[in-house]
Structure 1
Amino acid sequence: MTQIYLRVLASPNADVSNFRIEWDLYAANIILSRLAGVQVFTVAPTQILPPNVDISITDFLNDQQARRSLQLLDYNPDGFARDGRVISIYYLSGANSQTATTIDELSCENNRLTFPILGYTVMPSDVNSSASRFLLAHEIVHSLFARVVESQVDGRVQRNVDDSNPDPNSNGSHSNDPQNLMFPTVPSSQDFTQTDQLPANLLTNAQIQKIIASPYVFQ
């Protein structure tokens, strides 16, 4: 079976009660392993962020707080980040109207990180219920869809990120199907947490094939 690798970090004040992280990882592993044959591993236990790099999700997404955001992303005591193999997951304190956000390498590079992170997701504290356990899986799949594409512009190499959804019924990186994992409003996982049964048509064959071909997926 193929694998992907995650490292998980959390703010001291993030709401990770009710075994939230464990449930999120469990759901992501069930979805990817059963549907795509991709097993989810964490490279280390969840780390609690120290105060000097901790930041709320609101400030993280606020351009006025860019310096502190970069301090968070440059925090790498375990040495696992930024090597092209590990996706970083940050559970941050506070609320976020976008629910969660996955940011690609290009965004990090433009913000002049000391060592660019190739993939990361920030998860807000206000989404912690048995109905939202597919949210982490949704964000991970955004990272698995992403590809860095190089092109020549005026004699210079320009790098862009293509994170398109291969489903023909998709809209950009999201699906138009309310039952699909990649629908902008992620399908409820309420029934899953009670019965361990995945909804039908959670991922299409085209989506599964792109997941399997991701640079983050290893034999």
Structure 2
Amino acid sequence: MEYYVMVAYGTTENSPMTFCTSPTDNLERKSETVGFVVEHTEAKIVDPTTGQVVPLGATGELMTRGYCVMLGYWDDEAKTQECITKSGWYKTGDLASMDAFSYCRIEGRIKDMIIRGGENVYPAEIEQFLHTHPKVKEAQVVGVVDARMGEEICACIKLIDGEECTAEEIKVYCKQHIAHFKIPRYVLFVTSYPLTVTGKIQKYELRKEAEQQLGLKKDK
């Protein structure tokens, strides 16, 4: 008997699936994408600030439209207008890219995006890289307040049990492999992350904790 692994993506507001891989897709597509857009559904990637469609392969906000998109939030017209355009496009809030065959890669969440000196930095990309360090068990990246750059990158890292590491060691490792503006200015070593009741990491709480530990304050 043969078994096939398929990857699907969607939201509750999309009833709930909008992308899915095929059983015959290769390992790269199954491991790096959430599949292609399903039948009778439209998808596009737009610049979050202008709303214009970005080129294939570029990162932007994923939007979907079709029979699967809900009519609206119950008794909440303001939230409905915020998330669904007049022409029926649902704003997922996810940062993604899409190729010519509509295979979609999820890059992270818009609310997690760091804007450092005018450069858009995607935490998920840095987190994935940090996980390649032999001493790193888990990494979470957040933006912390900075008077000059607006935001700076802070990596909150859990080390593998028994390992020791310094912030400088992490930065040197980054310098060898990623663009300079993506290198964390701050590196904190933690033993746990703030979690929701369902076990998801609360990045806004992690950001607060990091800013407090670093002694950073927002300008009034």
More helix by share: 1
Same fold (TM over 0.5): no
The structure showing larger relative contact order (alpha-carbon pairs under 8 Å, at least 6 residues apart) is: 1
Q: Which protein has the bigger strand share?
A: 2
TM range (shorter): under 0.3
- TM-score, L = length of structure 2: 0.27
Structure 1 or 2, whichever has the larger Rg, is: 2
